[in-house]
Structures are given as C-alpha cells and as structure tokens.
Amino acid sequence: MFRFYARGSYDCVMSKRLAEVAVKVGVSEATVSRVLNEKPGVSDRTRRAVLTALDVLGYERPTKLRGERARLVGLVMPELQNPIFPAFAEVIGGALAQNGYTPVLCTQTAGGVSEADYVDLLLQQRVSGVVFLGGAYAQRDANHEHYERLREVNLPTVLVNAPIADFGFATVSSDDAVATELAMDHLRQLGHTRIGLLVGPQDHIPSQRKLAAARNLAESWGMPLDELDVAHSLYSLEAGQASASKLLARGVTAIVCASDPMALGAIRAIRRAGLSVPGDVSVVGYDDSALMNCTEPALTTVRQPIESMGRMVIELLIRQISSDSAISDELFFEPELVVRRSTSPARR
C-alpha cells in the first residue's frame, strides 16, 4: 500500500501523489492539500470525495482523518425480478442486523447506477464490508476494475456463487456440478434421452460449470451432449422462452434450466408450441425461489440452500471485519432436488 509521509504537516506529501488524487476528484492540488491538513474553505462534498479517492487509490489517510468504518454493509445485487435475490437479501440482511450491522441495498437497473458506481458510493460511506449477490465477478468478459479497488483498500468482501478463477475473495457457492447431475439423473430415470440444457451467457462461470458437468455426465452414459441441445440465455422469463423454443425445434423431451424464471419461460414456450408440460416435455428449474410450488404445474427444481449459505456469508464477513485479514476460499454447499409436477416419464 502507498503511504503519505508527513513531516510536521501534510504539505510535504509528494506532489506526484497529490496530483493523482486531484485528478481523480477533479479539483486542484491545493484543495487536496487543504483537506489533508484539515484547513477550512473546502465543502463537505469535496472533502468526502478527496478522502474517498485516497481509499480508492490505496493511499493511507492521515491519522486524524481515518476514523472508524461505519457499521454498514453493502448488499449489491443485479436485480430484484428474480426472486432468488430478495430471498438471499432477506436472510443475509436479517443476520447482519442480529450482528449489529445495517444492510445497504444496492440494486442495479438497466441504464441506472452500475455495480462500479455502487462500489464508489459504498467506499465513500466507509462501509464495514460488501456482499455481492451475483455480479460482474461471475462473467469472464466483464469489467472487474471496481473489485480491484476493494482489494486495494482491503475491504471485507464476500461473493455469493462462482467467480472467475483466482479472484481472491471469500466465496459461498451452491455446487453447480451437483445441481446439474441431480436434474439430469432425475430425467434419465424418467426415461428421457434427449435432454436440452438452458444456461446463462457463455462467459458466465456458474453456467460454464453446469455445462461441464452435463457434458461429463452425458459422456458417462454413452450419450455425448450435442452442442445443438444447449442454449444460452439471459436469466429472465422472456429470454428463457426464446431460447427454449430453439431447443424444442431440436426435439428434446426435457429441459434443464439454470434458473426458475428461465424454466417458467421454457414452460410458456412449450405451451405456445401446442405441447404440454410434463406430458410432452418435462422442465426442471434451479433455485427453488418463492412460489415455485404454486405455478401450474408446480415446478420441479434444484433448491439452493439459502439459509445455510447466508449464515456462512455472514460468518466469513464478520471474520474478516474482526481480524482485518482477507479470506479467499470458495466454500461449496450441496443443493437439493425438489420433485414436483413439471416432470414425468418420457413418452415412448
């Protein structure tokens, strides 16, 4: 970590670093110097921006300006439409409150505040830690610079579900390989031999893990997975419907989906094709999010163990906050197959 060195006052800070902070904030070097020396004549907004820039650039604050981190924890999630995210937020937020921390919900919207923007805002608020419930860390081709800022300031951080390799943060994951094996084994036992796979974008790590597990399992059965029986989709009902239509055209008799909303989209596509669920095509979802037992038909799905995963998230976060040391392990939790009425034996 870079440090500012003082000799009597912070006027002796190296000009290069003063300039770097000034450029980051968009103010003069003189303004940065006034903030560091606690001089008057600087607005509270500019003062906070300068101190945040110190954190982001990895410079140590002057002793008098450090203060303590607020007992706030950011919960950053990509959306609220998929009910699995509010479910995780409820568990984690409740556990945070029990430990004396206040959750700060940060939800991205199309064309709105980005994940990187939220990281800047949370650093500005000097939160005690951040929990990401899905995000750019799971996409190989996404921008990851804002995570680097969290590493630079050693902010306690926990990710939920698989990141790209060697990402360096504590991670709590549902085992994607086991989830896929549970779904496909269930369908094979029902006599299905043409199983389609509906997963997320190609650079999405949990989807890559599910796809790799499906390939390995199909090969062990002596029925290699045809690439045309795999469809990539966004995690929404509408996208799932469009991608499932392509699988139906291939003649699959069952579809394994990477989320419950995608599975609901697949059911809609099957019905619009004049087919029935599960009479003609069986469907398996993933998450067991709210109300999946109330759909028609009730959805067979693979349940993520939200309660136990949420408790582990808090344990890892509190451990980092207490010890001020980073944790980089990924802990796996085993999912559970929940059989309902969207799957049935394959027609002969």
Cα 10 from Cα 50, distance rounded (Å): 14
Closest listed residue to residue 25, CA positions, set 5, 45, 2:
45
pLDDT of 14 > 60? The answer is: no
pLDDT of residue 47: 82
Fold assignment, 72-174+306-332: Rossmann fold (3.40.50)
Q: How far apart are the first and last CA of the chain?
A: 66
pTM of the shown model: 0.80
pLDDT, mean of residues 325-340: 94
DSSP annotation of 56:
H
Cα 222 from Cα 33, distance rounded (Å): 70
DSSP codes of every residue in 135-168: -GGGBTTS--HHHHHHHHTT--EEEES--STT--
pLDDT, mean of residues 74-96: 93
Cα 234 from Cα 99, distance rounded (Å): 35
Place of tokens 């500012």: 4
| Sheet of strand 129-132: strand arrangement | 102-107, 72-77, 129-132, 157-160, 170-174, 330-333
Q: What digits encode the pLDDT tens for the residues 15-29?
A: 677 888 888 888 998
pLDDT band at 323 (very low <50, low <70, confident <90, very high): confident
DSSP annotation of 9:
B
Q: Same CATH topology for 72-174+306-332 and 176-303?
A: yes
pLDDT of residue 55: 66
Percent of the chain with pLDDT over 70: 92
Q: Assign domain 10-66 to its CATH architecture.
A: Orthogonal Bundle (1.10)
Fold assignment, 176-303: Rossmann fold (3.40.50)
- In the chain, where the domains are located: 10-66, 72-174+306-332, 176-303
